[in-house]
Amino acid sequence: MSKHYKIAVLPGDGIGPEVMAEAIKVLQVVADKFQFQLTLTEALVGGAALDATGVPLPPDTLALCKASDAILFGSVGGPKWTGLAPDMQPERGSLLPLRKTFDLFCNMRPGQIYPAFADLSPLHPRVSSKGMDVLCIRELTGGIYFGEKGRSGDTAFDTQRYSVAEVTRIAEVAFQAAQKRGKKVTSIDKANVLQTSILWRETVEQVAKNYPDVTLEHMYIDNAAMQLIRSPQQFDVMLCDNLFGDILSDEIAAIAGSLGLLPSASLNGSGFGLYEPAGGSAPDIAGQGIANPIAQILSAALMLRYSFGEEAAAQAIERAVQQCLEQHIVTRDIDPKSTYGTAAVGAAIVATLQQET
């Protein structure tokens, strides 16, 4: 075995450790099957790290991340730590510094309506039965969240800035992703009113010239929000700035149904990434063994795809997940009557992977 990947495993709080345990089992099976070697090293993060060391992102954890090829992240936070100062809060105090340290400018969130579970979607069956398979790509380190801001008296302001370089690098990711999927990019903007959107649109057009096999369309954010509800199956890759992507990625999550199914990836330009479920630490169900491990398992699949280029292994995991869903081996967030817990769903996915030839 020549290929060897080092992964920093940060389970965090609440359901984080429970769902991470299942993702690790799945990773070990595909490593054997697809002939690569994994070194998985666990470290403390979030509330668990605060309790043990006094800070949400201890130096040892950051050092491990720097020495690794990717970060597999669980979830952080919970009611125990909500009263703390912003920089000490588990979420802000760990995810923001990690994004900054590793320049994770690209956030990817796939959202699907699985045909077998179209009724999970709050959309009308007339719409949801046609399915959805969207990849939302959000710029994560620029835009209005990071611009100059201020307040004086009864006036406040925020500024949005984007450079050609910033737009180019996120657009490149979107076109490359579309090449491997449905070959379509819908770039979201508000070019009828915003200067940054005009630059965004021009820059995306330039990048598109290098990807003649991908269709580019532009859509205003307000229309996109509406079209997602009316006919989500029209979208393949949606390319968004930080603000619009924040909103649309949550809309896509809501359309898809359970948070327990949705993975995410945050990447930089050199293949390094942080992979985590779209949901949080779910304190309401933590410790009961009933959390859905699928979002964490699919996050591991995204890691294999985007950081390591192990496309076959990623697809095998995604197929196994799909098969378990079709066989109705699901946790209670998907079907309240189900008796499968976290470990049972993980075990079913592992067994499916082992049976596959």
Rounded Cα distance, 238 and 217, in Å: 10
Give the one entry of Mg ion, ligand NAI, none that residue 160 binds, where binding means its C-beta sits below a cut-off of 5 to 8 angstroms depending on kind: none
Give the one entry of ligand NAI, Mg ion, none that residue 350 binds, where binding means its C-beta sits below a cut-off of 5 to 8 angstroms depending on kind: none
Beta carbon of residue 76, minimum distance to Mg ion (angstroms, whole number): 15
DSSP state of 56: S
- 189 half-sphere exposure, CB direction, 13 A CA radius: 24
- 65, 199, 252, 285: which one binds ligand NAI (CB under 6 A): 285
Catalytic residue status for 32 = no
Nearest to 174 by CA among 223, 106, 270: 106
**Per the residue annotation, which of 13, 162, 190, 211 is the catalytic one?**
190
Question: Is the CB of 23 or the CB of 199 nearer to ligand NAI?
Answer: 23
Beta carbon of residue 259, minimum distance to ligand NAI (angstroms, whole number): 4
Is residue 77 near ligand NAI by the rule CB under 6 A? Answer: yes
- 187, 249, 281, 307: which one binds ligand NAI (CB under 6 A): 281
Rounded Cα distance, 143 and 188, in Å: 14
> Is 133 annotated for ligand binding?
no
> Is 339 annotated for ligand binding?
no
**Per the residue annotation, which of 145, 158, 183, 335 is the catalytic one?**
145
Question: Is the CB of 8 or the CB of 15 nearer to ligand NAI?
Answer: 15
Stretch of 119-127, 163-171, 266-274, 276-284 lying at the interface with ligand NAI (CB under 6 A): 276-284
Strands (E) located in 115-262 = 132-139, 149-152, 155-158, 184-189, 215-220, 237-240
Nearest to 77 by CA among 8, 18, 17, 14: 14
Give the one entry of Mg ion, ligand NAI, none that residue 284 binds, where binding means its C-beta sits below a cut-off of 5 to 8 angstroms depending on kind: ligand NAI
Is residue 76 near ligand NAI by the rule CB under 6 A? Answer: yes
**Which long-range contacts link 157-160 to residues 24+ away (Cβ below 8 Å)?**
160/194, 160/196, 160/241, 160/243
Strands (E) located in the chain = 4-12, 37-42, 70-75, 106-113, 132-139, 149-152, 155-158, 184-189, 215-220, 237-240, 263-267, 273-277
Rounded Cα distance, 148 and 144, in Å: 8
Beta carbon of residue 242, minimum distance to Mg ion (angstroms, whole number): 10
> What angle do helix axes 242-256 and 221-230 make, rounded to 10 degrees?
10
Question: Is the CB of 32 or the CB of 250 nearer to Mg ion?
Answer: 250
Catalytic residue status for 145 = yes
Sign, CA torsion 6/12/17/18: negative
Is residue 22 near ligand NAI by the rule CB under 6 A? Answer: no
Beta carbon of residue 333, minimum distance to ligand NAI (angstroms, whole number): 4
Catalytic residue status for 190 = yes
Write the CB contacts of 204 (distance below 8 Å, at least 6 apart in sequence): 167, 171, 185, 187, 216, 218, 239
Query: Which 110-169 positions form the footprint of ligand NAI (CB under 6 A)?
Result: none
Give the one entry of Mg ion, ligand NAI, none that residue 251 binds, where binding means its C-beta sits below a cut-off of 5 to 8 angstroms depending on kind: none
Question: Is the CB of 20 or the CB of 178 nearer to ligand NAI?
Answer: 20
> Is 319 annotated for ligand binding?
no
The site for Mg ion (CB under 5 A) is made up of 246, 250
Which residues have a catalytic role annotated?
145, 190, 222, 246, 250
